[in-house]
Amino acid sequence: MPIYVNMVRDPVERVISWYYYVRAPWYFVERKRAFPDLPLPNPNWLRKDFETCVRTNDPECRYLPAMKRDGFGDHRRQTMFFCGHEEDCTGFNTEVAMKKAKENVERHYAVVGVLEELNKTLTVLEHYVPRFFKGALETYWNEVHIFSKINRNLYKPKVEEATKDIVRQNFTRELEFFDFCKQRLHKQYLAITLNQDP
């Protein structure tokens, strides 16, 4: 069996990031190179901000429980990546998908890191999977000046907390799964620090 590791991110921040990522100019340059016949997006769609999208109940920003999305990928949720390919895993924010995702994390993953807790994640990876991650924390911080400039979307504006709260109402199980992964990482980190005390 391989050693499975993965990362999660706050689900609301993740969906906001994806919203602006697919509107960033470089995204369309890459897509156009890969798929030359692909039409360019509507300028009104490109200019639409997340706040307006949520507050006007735009279909793109409607996160309805059990809804299934057709087409290329479903970037609204993380449970999909951990649940599996069964039909039960395809609906958005469902109890079944969340429970199965949690079971799979416990059963198959050595570490599921949390982007917002990168130091803790790297420390746990170093101790639980040393063959691949020994020195990861030090390496990251020695290279932080390089990493800090990579993958930043200058076209992503700040989103109001009130708007995030609206979105959170329909991300209950996604948030529960995220909190589960955070707690699991914290327990792993605590086990390491307790074992290091004299």
Burial environment of residue 86 by CB neighbours within 10 A (0 to 12, 13 to 18, 19 or more): exposed
List beta partners, residue 112. 6
Of 156, 6, 9, 26, the residue nearest 76 (C-alpha)? 9
Whether residue 184 lies inside any domain: the answer is: yes
Whether residue 82 lies inside any domain: the answer is: no
Whether residue 93 lies inside any domain: the answer is: no
Whether residue 87 lies inside any domain: the answer is: no
Report the C-alpha gap between 95 and 103 in whole angstroms.
Answer: 12
Whether residue 152 lies inside any domain: the answer is: yes
Per-residue confidence (pLDDT) for residue 31, from 0 to 100: 83
Per-residue confidence (pLDDT) for residue 43, from 0 to 100: 87
Instruction: Report strand pairing: 109-114 vs 4-8.
Output: parallel
pLDDT in tens, 60-98: 898 877 666 654 455 677 888 899 888 888 888 889 999
Whether residue 99 lies inside any domain: the answer is: no
Domains in the chain, number: 1
pLDDT in tens, 100-112: 999 999 999 999 9
* Helices assigned H by DSSP within the chain: 11-21, 25-34, 43-47, 50-55, 79-83, 95-108, 118-128, 130-133, 136-142, 144-147, 161-168, 172-196
Q: Which CATH number goes with the domain that contains 53?
A: 3.40.50.300
- The alpha carbon of 142 is separated from its chain's Cα centroid by a whole number of angstroms, namely 25
pLDDT at 114 over 90: yes
Per-residue confidence (pLDDT) for residue 72, from 0 to 100: 43
Whether residue 149 lies inside any domain: the answer is: yes
pLDDT in tens, 165-188: 999 999 999 999 999 999 999 999
Q: Which domain holds residue 130?
A: 4-77+108-196
Q: Residue 151: pLDDT band by 50, 70, 90 thresholds?
A: low
Report the C-alpha gap between 175 and 71 in whole angstroms.
Answer: 24
Whether residue 125 lies inside any domain: the answer is: yes
Does residue 25 or residue 7 have the better pLDDT? 7
Q: What are phi and psi of 95, to 5 degrees?
A: -60, -45
